[in-house]
Structure 1
């Protein structure tokens, strides 16, 4: 096997935009909950299957999403070949260009411009009798925690502080905690502990939202049992730093109650991919960008020359992965249909997460 640091969450809707350390908006992979050292093709195959599923969701024909998968693998191969011949530091700093010309990315960047911490402050909080912002209860998806639980979370921030880089430690000292909430999060993390800390910097108009997200062993660990990580939050944070040239200034980790946590900003100009934007040429264009981003991450953490030697021109590899992706997407849809049938037959209980009025 040719091993790299896997993204682990290599799928279309894990691509999105966020603010880099210099304030510029960046488009890249967002989450790294499943990151682990593993064979490069695992990421490629998963993203390829995701492109097929996204294409079907956008009502594309078989030929269209097949071409998109091949375009993804071809861009991965050609980018890797380019990186194999470049100085290592140049590869580590590589930035993808032409993103502004890709409709789904443009839409995500527009969303990012609106997604400010102040916007989140308006959505999640209300002033108390002293004018201090407090989290609103929106059970069962969001609520304020008890004072005892809040104390535990704030103590965890002391451990988190030690994981920050020195320049980020100095900046973090300028913020003070205001309130603590609990947020129910997406499909892969349902049932996990996920806290949100509201902090205030230079006055009420300078909010910071930190997310403490529980991390467990990567889903890939069952296939990589020889790899042991003592702290799953550190695994996720260090994996992200290994893959990306630009990451959250406040990325770190902590522990609480015997559980591991990743700590990061909750919403700093974050935007996501809208599947509606994948109609027309949007899917193929996005797939090509995904191929370049993935190749850069793998080249930063693995041997670009060896991967290039395996892929060759990319033609045979792209067709083989296309065929795999279509079969895997078929299986995914069959699994989801079985899941829906189990719900209808009351074999699986479906929780009601409609927020209370």
Structure 2
């Protein structure tokens, strides 16, 4: 499945007609329904099949993190939702999908011009697919966040509808815009914080969030993650979350792995543009470590690489993360790229308005005696992460609107904004339907969470806290 492009020379009217025609396949009100498929796979089986390809000693950490709460479980269960959505009718109106568009994957990021923008962050599962799958993933995450905060049914519904309404309304604006204007559109954090209709409290909170995001840069990561050992800068161990190569393997095996990671870095450089490859060449590698990241990603092979430039106070921290097949692939078809790392990078570049200047990919042989794909990026670069557990209903509703509008912009860059907007229409039928869907799917998520908890209790799986 590829992102929906207008038919050659199709008029706006023809594109709109295509969008309206999709209502006959899936009425907008039909999205409200979620009933598990009669042949729904065992959710634990799906999780265990993912775990089988991961670092064995890290898998219990993944389960432990997923068992912290139903929302944390949801973050690690993108494969379960992909299986549910993949078996249901869909609009056939495709765009490049994030594949895991839950609310914590929307955050403040730095542009190469050193400005803060609001954008999507995680693209491990990105592939072209039906636009509504991302919207449903976002909607259900908002319902779960509302449940965690003890919001009422009405308050949760208002939060979800705010996100979907923002998506629908912004997609409608994009449907009237020139192609390049869509491509250049971005969500500047400063512009949001200066809106006159915001209360003083919200403006102050936005200012604090932006100030904090600016401190979460490579220098902060450098100070936190490294130390001087025998006069040389090294990555500080924090096992099992951060394990330097020297603590991970004995001499000969460590040397082999270090050579492989250096080859990864050298090959990855070829995926960068010439000026960025030149910039990378100004740094030298001084240390490497394995790192545990995220919730759903725990157990995938992830390395942090410390490089230094002019001197010991001129650092660059890169993260090389294993890229496997997208959880969407069984339902939309495999990636068009022969490297899953390149799939991630291509999807990110297509959906984001700004990107990490060091974003690239490579394929290596020899890590755990297998061929593996990786993508590489900076470890930290002005990242501001939402804290939904501190938000009241009004604040979460405002954040939901930001997420919905941001997702519409990301989809409009690759999909047919005119067709999608025509399908959604000007009324709130889709908004209301997704509010119902979000609650129904939150119930399913709770059942799956309970199943994992029971598996841990009975010993089917091992879960540990880190």
Instruction: Indicate the TM-score class for this superposition, using the shorter chain for normalisation.
Output: over 0.9
From the superposition, tell whether residues 176 and 268 of structure 1 become closer, same or farther in structure 2 (CA, over 3 Å). same
Instruction: Select the residue among 122, 135, 141 that pairs with 1:31.
Output: 122
State yes or no: 1:115 paired with 2:208.
Answer: no
Instruction: Select the residue among 284, 287, 311 that pairs with 2:400.
Output: 287
1:21-77 deviation line (CA, Å, top 9, x unaligned): 011122211110000010101101110111101111122211111011111111111
State yes or no: 1:11 paired with 2:124.
Answer: no
2:149, 2:240 → 1: CA distance? Answer: 31
TM-score w.r.t. structure 2 length?
0.73
State yes or no: 1:135 paired with 2:248.
Answer: no
1:192, 1:261 → 2: CA distance? Answer: 10
From the superposition, tell whether residues 194 and 226 of structure 1 become closer, same or farther in structure 2 (CA, over 3 Å). closer
Match of 1:235 in 2: 343
- How far 1:271 moved relative to its partner? 2.2
State yes or no: 1:46 paired with 2:137.
Answer: yes
Report the more deviating stretch, 313-322 or 295-304. 313-322
Match of 2:166 in 1: 75
- How far 1:227 moved relative to its partner? 4.5
Match of 1:203 in 2: 311
- Give the conservation status (yes or no) of the 8 Å contact 2:96–2:350: yes
Aligned-partner SS, 2:305: strand
- How far 1:311 moved relative to its partner? 0.4
2:332, 2:359 → 1: CA distance? Answer: 25
Count of residues paired in the alignment = 352
1:147, 1:137 → 2: CA distance? Answer: 18
Instruction: Select the residue among 266, 273, 282 that pairs with 2:386.
Output: 273
Aligned-partner SS, 1:319: helix
From the superposition, tell whether residues 105 and 148 of structure 1 become closer, same or farther in structure 2 (CA, over 3 Å). farther
From the superposition, tell whether residues 274 and 106 of structure 1 become closer, same or farther in structure 2 (CA, over 3 Å). farther
- How far 1:105 moved relative to its partner? 5.5
Aligned-partner SS, 1:143: strand
Aligned-partner SS, 1:269: coil
Match of 1:175 in 2: 283
- How far 1:152 moved relative to its partner? 1.1
Report the more deviating stretch, 215-224 or 144-153. 144-153
- How far 1:191 moved relative to its partner? 1.6
Aligned-partner SS, 2:314: strand
1:79-103 deviation line (CA, Å, top 9, x unaligned): 0111111111111111225532557
1:278, 1:94 → 2: CA distance? Answer: 28
TM-score w.r.t. structure 1 length?
0.94
- Give the conservation status (yes or no) of the 8 Å contact 2:117–2:187: no
State yes or no: 1:99 paired with 2:99.
Answer: no
2:163, 2:432 → 1: CA distance? Answer: 11
- How far 1:223 moved relative to its partner? 0.6
Question: Which structure 2 residue ranges, 5 or more long, are not aligned?
Answer: 1-91, 246-253, 366-370
- How far 1:138 moved relative to its partner? 1.5
- How far 1:233 moved relative to its partner? 0.4
2:259, 2:282 → 1: CA distance? Answer: 19
2:266, 2:113 → 1: CA distance? Answer: 26
- Give the conservation status (yes or no) of the 8 Å contact 2:117–2:186: no
State yes or no: 1:165 paired with 2:265.
Answer: no
Match of 1:253 in 2: 361
1:209-237 deviation line (CA, Å, top 9, x unaligned): 10000000100111113554311000000
Who wins on radius of gyration, i.e. which is larger? 2
Match of 1:222 in 2: 330
Question: Which structure 1 residue ranges, 5 or more long, are not aligned?
Answer: none
Instruction: Select the residue among 282, 298, 320 that pairs with 2:433.
Output: 320
Match of 1:212 in 2: 320
Match of 1:339 in 2: 452
- Give the conservation status (yes or no) of the 8 Å contact 1:73–1:314: no
- How far 1:139 moved relative to its partner? 1.3
2:349, 2:377 → 1: CA distance? Answer: 12
